[in-house]
A and B are shown apart, each in its own frame.
Chain A
């Protein structure tokens, strides 16, 4: 960032709503949305450690949250967002090395990211409900 002047001259990101949604663009914006959503998950992790550190009575608040239906839905949302962001992030790391940039490969890797996210989230959901293991 050299000066305010040069920052003002830079264009903003194009507006999403004028483009036809495609798997590549939908996954790209989902990566950002899941990242923002995971910021709240990280805050929750901090709150978890904070409540654990200040005592058993306060930790019970966390257990109240994580055992409630809304808590379970939010926690499952973070699992879904975490694995999506993780798999799609690996896709981004390959792109940074110049691998898999062609249209066909990025479509296939995008589909693979969705598939892997859904499979692992269902798996974790089943474990958490105590149905297996």
Chain B
């Protein structure tokens, strides 16, 4: 099989080719490994997708349904003996003594660790410009961002430097970069994938999920990840097997379109592409109707109180005592803490720690954190009411296509608005998938579909039917 042929295979196809003998796991792994290594070596002259690339396939990675399939993993997953820094300087040189459950589940199904991917520091960002390893570039246009925080994972899959990648989503960190890079990204129901070994940002929101070339691969990865893990008390037993999607029609599917997340603030070209996708859905038999999520416009505000509050608590562990960076020549204990944290954290992480500490501090707790948790309840109730009327909800994934590097770094609030359409689902803990639905200004536009908790099979089926009808070429940005 030629390299071009091999690179054109989805994971599902590659796994079939390996089991039928027309491709070996070693050929597949080496093809991707050499491409990933070249990007790592090129650093800022490449896409800068990776923070670490494997030298070879490890023993024991050749058995199981995913035997020998190369897997790129976001840097914030702990991988035993392999650098895991969550894109932060404060974890410089850290090699964890254990592996995250999401990664070990995929490895026990045969997936072979190919590389660790670049990301916004501690998953805080929407452009992958907040990384100790430098910004990632979008393979569709290298002067633009890939989105974030799983920007390295998204760019690597879009550029064909990895067949698929593992990411995490707290407020949109899988879906938004998938949208900006023209690939598929799925945030599962909160709790369906273990968070054990995921370096924590906001524990009530963090969720691992797949970034893939197509919907079938997203289903395939999710199938091998869901698990109720004794090491994560918030993980849940997924009530059914994740099936590979097959349907090509949407007959009887009721799609709801919330005005609050699809009109104001959405670029004209994105809206056009989104409307065209809704037209496709109707042609496939779906009914499309306007709905309201009255509190959705407040989701971003609630999120930017709750996530920083949780982050300020989770990141208290970085103190220079047990692992990672320690500031040199401390005068005393307090000086070591404060200077280690000053030197180790980047600007955005500091902003969020400050914001969260403020929101939780005496005198402000009720006005900020307490209110935000109540808004969160209203947002979840809005979704519950909507799902009594419709089966799935459709919105654009990102209000804009990929923006220019540097365009939003000076104004944190404008960066936060990148998550406008993805944050409500995160707060409600429900699953949502982004699939590419067209181009605007030559750049990919993402369609987001969301469903009730544990509706992943229905969500994947609908996304698959739309994907077939839209026929987006996810190989267009392959380098």
Do A and B come from the same complex? no
